[in-house]
Every structure is written in C-alpha cells, then in structure tokens.
Amino acid sequence: MGKKVFSIDHIISEEIKICQPVDGFRFTTDSLLLAGFVKEKAYDTILEIGAGSGIISVILGTFLDTKKIYAVELNYKMYEALVRTIEINGLQDKIIPVKSDIKDYKLSRSVDMIISNPPYRKSYTGYNCKNEEKNAARFSDRLTLIDIFKFSKSYLKTGGLLYISYTADRTTELFESVKYGIEPKRLRFLYPDLNRKARLTFVEYRKGSGAEIIIEPPLFHSINSVFTEDFKNFTSYTWWLSKKNRGKPSI
C-alpha cells in the first residue's frame, strides 16, 4: 500500500470534517479563533485568501448566513485538500475553490467580506523545513499584508469588512491598511497565559470608514495553565450555533 497523503479530521462537531495533508501544513486553533472573531451578520459574498485545507471557509459556510464563499489557495496539495474538504461537507453549492495567486486573481464583482490567516514570518527569521506546504504557511514573503490590502482595496465593497490574524510582535504592520483606504475598527490580542506577552492579534477592518478603533478585552488561552472558558468556546458546537443564531437577519 502507498503512503497515506491526506487525513480526514473533524472540528467543533463530528459532522464538520477537514481534509489535510498528513505531512504538510495542518490547521491550528488560530483558524478557529479568527473565524470566531468575525462579526455575526449576514454576508452575501465572502472571499478567503490563502484558504489552505478550507477550515475557515467551511466554518463560515456552516455557521454564518452567507450565499457564496470564494476560497483562494495557490499550493497544489493544499488546493486538493480544500476541494475534498468542501465535498465531504456537502458545501459545493456555497464554497467555490479557486487555485490562484491572489496577486493574479481577478473578480467580476466586489465582495462583502474578505478574511485571511496569512503566514506570519519572514523567511530569514526562522527555520526553513523541507516541506513546501509548511514553509508556504509559515513565511510571509509569498503572501504579504500589502498583497491582502491591495486586493481588498480593489475588490472589497465600500463598507465591507476585512479580517486578519497576525503575530502580535508585528502588529504595527497591520496599520499599513490605512494607505489603501481600509481602516482598522476592532482589535483583540490573544495571550498564552497570565504574565505572558501577546501571541496573536485579530483585526477587523472596514473599507471607507473613519479612524475610530475598539480595543477589545484580551483573550487568554490559559490562566495558570488551565484553558479558559472563553478559549474553549471556540471549539464548542453550542457556542457556534448561538453565533449563527445571533447573525440571522431580523425580519
């Protein structure tokens, strides 16, 4: 028998399955946290940049009121996993997989929301491993914040939302968005534990908005090495259902 290339794993509930490479990049809770940071509302169209195996697109397609999601991924193996993820969750009518570099991708319409959990590290600041998928997911040389901001300037509707998660020690770079008419509106930091420095930053932007920003209370992964209830919510099916219900448009 040949070596197993992909595994099928579940998140949040047994019904939500993710196909991912056995030896390539595998999703982390960072994707769950970013998806959970998204505002509960109805979105006509969503686009995910660097969709990977499809975890964020599948979560948003399952728990948000949205009609269409474009999941853009460049790496061939990750794109294979993305297509399979969409199929096994029965979301072919809602999620459209797109194999493309975001710098080359052209849309025929603008979208209501863009979301991305991009690579955090520059190639000269960390260890390069032999696995191409892992390197692509780690190093920001291949997908930069500026790439995301430029694409959002072109294809995000005025008043539309952009969501990004990024390593906290590069937070200042997240404010370069204002050069592209995209204002940060809401920000939250993730801390591994008390008395530890922040690890991640989550930012909500709005295109064509004013300069005010809300700094939300910190999210702690653990307190004294015990998972917090806030953090555990992101893996709770009940919590995600309540988020879905809050996002339903009023009649």
Write down the pLDDT at residue 171.
97
Tens-level pLDDT at each residue, the chain (251 residues): 556 888 999 999 999 999 999 887 778 899 999 999 999 999 999 999 999 999 999 999 999 999 999 999 999 999 999 999 999 999 999 999 999 999 999 999 999 999 999 998 665 444 444 545 444 444 446 799 999 999 999 999 999 999 999 999 999 999 999 999 999 999 999 999 999 999 999 999 999 999 899 999 999 999 999 999 999 999 999 999 998 888 776 54
Write down the pLDDT at residue 131.
44
Write down the pLDDT at residue 172.
97
Write down the pLDDT at residue 142.
74
Which one-letter amino acid corresponds to residue 53? S
β-strands 156-167, 200-207 pairing: antiparallel
Tokens of 71: 């999941």
Domains, the chain: 11-246 (3.40.50.150)
Write down the pLDDT at residue 2.
59
Cα separation, 151 vs 112, in Å, equals 13
Write down the pLDDT at residue 23.
82
Among candidate residues 144, 59, 61, the one with its CA nearest the CA of residue 102: 144
Write down the pLDDT at residue 138.
44
Write down the pLDDT at residue 5.
86
Tokens of 117: 């959990």
CB neighbour class for 10 (10 Å; exposed up to 12, middle 13-18, buried from 19): exposed
Write down the pLDDT at residue 250.
56
CA–centroid distance for 105 within its chain: 18
